[in-house]
Amino acid sequence: MIRINAENDRLVLDCDLNDLAPRHASQLAFWGFSYDHDEMRFLGPDHNVGDLVTRVCKYLEKASCPYELVGHSANILARRMAAESSYVVARKKGQEFKEG
């Protein structure tokens, strides 16, 4: 199982390389992650933690890769989802207002 956490303003995925198919590791590399073989974890770039946690979770769900959010990453994702939900509601209300 992949454990996702936020440490020192970076997203960290604790997992063995065998937990992911090569295409998944390539996708993480495309997003700026690097694999630390000694620690057996992917280290994300030191920016956009909120965007990355959302993107990575959606990607892993689509790929049917089991994961769990631990520590601060769960809070970050919850805030992002709440903000996204608020935006969708506001946009829908604006569209309804515009349409009369």
Q: 32 is written with which tokens? A: 């700026």
Number of structural domains (the chain) is 1
100 residues of the chain, pLDDT tens digit each: 999 888 888 889 998 778 899 999 999 999 999 999 999 999 999 887 778 888 898 999 999 999 998 876 555 555 655 556 555 566 777 787 778 7
pTM of the model: 0.72
Cα gap 91→84, rounded to integer Å:
11
Domain interval for residue 83: 2-99
Q: 86 is written with which tokens? A: 């608020």
Cα gap 54→35, rounded to integer Å:
20
What residues pair up with 12 in beta bridges, in sequence order? 5, 43
Q: 34 is written with which tokens? A: 């690097």
Cα gap 20→26, rounded to integer Å:
10
